[in-house]
Amino acid sequence: MTELNRPRGTRDFGPDQMAVRRYVESEIRSVLQDFGYNEVQTPTFEHLDLFVAKSGPQVVDQIYAFKDKGDRDLALRPELTAPVMRFYQAELRNEPKPLRILYFGNCFRYERPQKGRYREFWQMGLEYIGKRTALAYAEVISAAISALRKVGLRGFSVRIGDVGLLREVFRELGIDLSKERDLAIALDKKEAGKVRQVILQKSSSHDIAEILTNTYSLSEATDVIGDLLKGAGEAVEEEGALLMSLFDILKSSAGEEVIFDPSITRGLDYYDGIVFEIDVPSLGAEKQICGGGGYSMTSMFNSEVNGIGFGLGFDRIIMAIDGPERAGGDGVGIYYLIPMGERAVRESISIMDRIRDSGRKCILETQGRNVKKAIGYGINCGADHVIIIGDAEMDEKKISIKDLTNREQVSIPSSDLEKYLEGI
């Protein structure tokens, strides 16, 4: 036998798992739809250039990229924001603003698989395209929180920061954050000592490292932001004012899971406003289940495009809720038809059609097994009624219906089937 197993980093999902996944998917989708977001879908693969334009040439290392037979450079999408924005720019740009878009789909990255990280994974997310106001940010963050709560997730924390503010604060210190990769990483890891060290090299400013590498509760947030703005320049003040009013709104609408974390950098790639991350500590190393923020894609599309978005790590959400909240289950009744002998087959098929027409699940014994075996199979499949049609029934134009839950069996004229179904 040759290699017929799954490619590394991919997964198969069995019926039980799919029931949970579909349930969670539809619950989250419906929450986001309630926030006014409408779903779109884009291709599974795109021109490689789209992703290079968004994230830089180094991302190619982590992308499934290939040439097609026309020698085009293509790539399996590693994320959904870029395709959605491409779609927006090409066809949706004249829609009334703000435009609220929702998406769900599989994405692919060539990375070393580990817990919570696969080479094929699913993302659900949204993009709010329009002017980035405090209310808009509050809406997007609330949507993420509501979605997670809806599927029964508890014990997550929402960290909110501001990449734009961070940039401006450092600019006033004479530091270009984009060029100080080590500093950005140190910030993200909250290595206060290292951050302080870099800052002191460039400036003799007060100990801002301490402020930046801590986190603050919702009630402390506005005071801390106030401290940061004190004596600051115009650019810092402008960014900070937006963040301040966002926290003002969140104070009344969000819960204690929200904290201010000024050191979030989100890779600094294309977010340039307020950013946020949500994680579930119990997941371990790959605990982040949501990342998002405000961005400007102006340079990518040569026209002004502003928005706020987030992506939810669908697979990690499934892992985080695994157990507590399960799918509603397929507890809806299944009717299992057992035809006995040639004469009964045609009648059984028509009975089956009538049951399905009534909106109920119905399966047929197709293996020619005897009644005993067949009933055993029906029980294993979760059927709650079996219907037996044999010569005896055919002679009397009746059908025998057995309720597996109470072992009671009735014989009714086959013309009374619908009446029987309604009576249940």
Partner RNA sequence: GCCGGGGUGGUGUAGCCUGGUAGCACCAGGGACUGUGGAUCCCUUAGCUCGAGUUCAAAUCUCGGUCCCGGCCCCA
Provide the binding-site residues for RNA, judged by CB under 7 A. Answer: 6, 8-9, 51, 54-55, 59, 62-63, 78-79, 81, 109, 111-116, 185, 189, 266-267, 269-270, 284-286, 288, 291, 340, 367, 369-373, 375-377, 379-380, 386, 388, 390-393, 400, 402-407, 409
CB atoms within 10 A of CB 332: 11
Cβ proximity to RNA: between 229 and 290 the closer is 290
Cβ proximity to RNA: between 213 and 222 the closer is 213
Residue 312 C-beta: closest distance to RNA, Å:
13
Residue 230 C-beta: closest distance to RNA, Å:
30
Under DSSP, the state recorded for 226 is H
Cβ proximity to RNA: between 153 and 375 the closer is 375
Are 285 and 115 in contact by the 8 Å Cβ rule? The answer is yes
**Residue 221: φ, ψ to 5°:** -55, -50
CA distance 131 to 374: 63
Residue 111 C-beta: closest distance to RNA, Å:
6
Are 159 and 291 in contact by the 8 Å Cβ rule? The answer is no
Residue 194 C-beta: closest distance to RNA, Å:
12
Cβ proximity to RNA: between 9 and 152 the closer is 9
Cβ proximity to RNA: between 92 and 185 the closer is 185
- In 3D space, the residue among 12, 54, 283 whose CA is nearest the CA of residue 155 turns out to be 283
Residue 272 C-beta: closest distance to RNA, Å:
12
Are 317 and 148 in contact by the 8 Å Cβ rule? The answer is yes
CA distance 178 to 184: 8
3-state secondary structure 170-215: HHHCCCCHHHCHHHHHHHHCCCHHHHHHHHHHHCCCCCHHHHHCCC
Residue 178 C-beta: closest distance to RNA, Å:
12
Residue 251 C-beta: closest distance to RNA, Å:
28
Cβ proximity to RNA: between 224 and 402 the closer is 402
Cβ proximity to RNA: between 15 and 96 the closer is 15
Cβ proximity to RNA: between 138 and 289 the closer is 289
CA distance 133 to 348: 63
**Residue 26: φ, ψ to 5°:** -75, -30
The sheet with strand 398-403 has its strands ordered as 361-364, 334-339, 385-389, 398-403, 408-413
Scanning the structure block, which residue is given the tokens 């790639």? 269
Residue 343 C-beta: closest distance to RNA, Å:
9
The radius of gyration computed from the CA coordinates of the chain, to the nearest angstrom, equals 29
Are 25 and 332 in contact by the 8 Å Cβ rule? The answer is no
Cβ proximity to RNA: between 153 and 290 the closer is 290
Residue 412 C-beta: closest distance to RNA, Å:
12
Residues near 350 by Cβ (< 8 Å), separated by ≥ 6?
A: none
- In 3D space, the residue among 105, 107, 112, 148 whose CA is nearest the CA of residue 280 turns out to be 148
Biggest CA–CA distance in the chain, Å, is 100
What H or E segment, with its residue span, contains residue 142? helix 134-150
Cβ proximity to RNA: between 9 and 130 the closer is 9
Residue 188 C-beta: closest distance to RNA, Å:
7
